[in-house]
Amino acid sequence: MEPRIEGRTASLRHLKRSRAAAIARDQAGAVSRAQLYAAGLTRGEVRANVQARRWQRVGRHVVVVHTGPLAQATLLWAAQLSGGPRARLDGASSLIAAGLTGFHLEVHRVSVPRGARVFRDARVDVRQTRRWRADDVFPGAGPPRTRPEIAAVRGALWARSDRQAALLLTMTVQQGVAPVDRIARALLQVKKAPRLRFVVDVVTDLVGGVRSLAELDFAAACRARGLPEPTRQVVRRGPDGRYYLDVLWEEFGVVVEIDGIQHVLAQEVVADALRHNDVTLLHLRVLRLPVLGFRVAADEFFAQIEQALVDGGWTRLGPAA
């Protein structure tokens, strides 16, 4: 009788592993412990499969039903499952799930509604939020996640620094993960948050391109640093017609071109290069200031602008501000 009992036991173990594999198949290989227990596996059986190196743990609450390298999709599913049954990928993690590339995260973030049970895990940052609505979830395939425009706003507000916040917003728009007008509308729903003013400024730059920065912010930044007042939006005529110089100190032979989000698009590259060359042929020194650079590295860029002005003959009359 013993061989028959052992055979049934082995068959039952195989059946349970097959159930786990079926669940994991739609989740990039990841499955939560709660799902495994609901499928009939015991804690001991889960532990035995991990110890036998059939499966591997990802944090406290999730296992992966293989022992190979973990794909990005697997890590995203593991993060969402680690947050509990009501969790969604949010912030930069949601944007990565939506296709954002080139943005590195050490810890994935998920959101849950205020008051929900939080499943703690060192690999996942679980954020409770009052702004948690059922229709904020993206309806597509993959792990549950917040809509890209909402995730972009939250990701910027949750970022480690202003620099990271600006980079995330800019990359999201550049890569077409979320259009800037939708991000702007999502931002209107936030009434109070740390870094909110900065995020509003960055989104305004992305919405307005060069004009908002050149006309509203640049001259004020020059005055604050004791630099001479420039002339803005100066019209020049080139071989192909009229063009505008964003900022000009004609007396000192210095031009600053402020690059908005459109300057990364392929169709702008040739026109920008021709304009740059025309201005250079007028014996003007041309410096470029990306809108993103103005937000996250203004001091470094203005030090270069001041050096160019000094080289052109400007003399500071008083101490720097």
Q: Are strands 62-64 and 30-32 parallel, antiparallel or unpaired?
A: antiparallel
- The pLDDT of residue 236: 58
Our CA dihedral for 115, 120, 122, 125, rounded to 10 degrees, sits at -20
Task: Kindly report the backbone phi and psi dihedral angles of residue 280, in degrees, each rounded to the nearest multiple of 5, phi listed first.
Answer: -65, -35
- The pLDDT of residue 8: 64
Q: What is the distance between the alpha carbons of residues 187 and 312, in angstroms, rounded to a whole number?
A: 43
Q: Which of 285, 300, 281 shows the shortest CA–CA distance to 255? A: 285
Residue 268 has pLDDT above 60, yes or no: no
In the predicted model, what is the mean pLDDT of residues 53-68? 95
- The pLDDT of residue 266: 41
Q: What is the distance between the alpha carbons of residues 293 and 317, in angstroms, rounded to a whole number?
A: 27
Q: What is the pTM of this model?
A: 0.70
Confirm if 162 and 296 have CB atoms less than 8 A apart.
yes
In the predicted model, what is the mean pLDDT of residues 25-46? 95
Q: Residue 82: which pLDDT band, with cuts at 50, 70 and 90?
A: very high
| Domains of the chain, residue spans | 2-207, 211-311
- The pLDDT of residue 276: 65
Sign of the Cα pseudo-torsion (248, 249, 255, 259, in order): negative
- The pLDDT of residue 235: 63
Residue 320 has pLDDT above 70, yes or no: no
Residue with the bigger pLDDT between 230 and 145: it is: 145
Q: Please list the residues that pair with 111 across neighbouring strands.
A: 88, 127
Residue with the bigger pLDDT between 280 and 149: it is: 149
Q: Residue 277: which pLDDT band, with cuts at 50, 70 and 90?
A: low
Task: Kindly report the backbone phi and psi dihedral angles of residue 259, in degrees, each rounded to the nearest multiple of 5, phi listed first.
Answer: -90, 115
Half-sphere exposure of 88 (CA within 13 A, CB side): 29
Q: Which two tokens stand for residue 312?
A: 């052109």
Residue 165 has pLDDT above 80, yes or no: yes
- The pLDDT of residue 267: 43
- The pLDDT of residue 48: 94
- The pLDDT of residue 5: 53
Residue 121 has pLDDT above 70, yes or no: yes
In the predicted model, what is the mean pLDDT of residues 23-43? 95
- The pLDDT of residue 239: 53
The pLDDT tens digits for 196-250 are 999 988 888 787 654 445 455 788 889 899 999 887 666 655 555 565 677 889 8
- How confident is the prediction for the chain on average, in pLDDT? 84
Residue 25 has pLDDT above 90, yes or no: yes
- The pLDDT of residue 164: 92
Confirm if 195 and 157 have CB atoms less than 8 A apart.
yes
Asked if CATH classification 3.40.1350 holds for the domain at 211-311, the reply, yes or no, is: no
Q: What is the distance between the alpha carbons of residues 109 and 86, in angstroms, rounded to a whole number?
A: 13
Q: Please list the residues that pair with 245 across neighbouring strands.
A: 234
Q: Residue 274: which pLDDT band, with cuts at 50, 70 and 90?
A: low
- The pLDDT of residue 319: 66
Q: Which two tokens stand for residue 318?
A: 């008083």
Sign of the Cα pseudo-torsion (153, 155, 161, 165, in order): negative
Percent of the chain with pLDDT over 70: 81
| Sequence-ordered list of residues with C-beta below 8 angstroms from that of 44, at least 6 positions apart, any chain | none
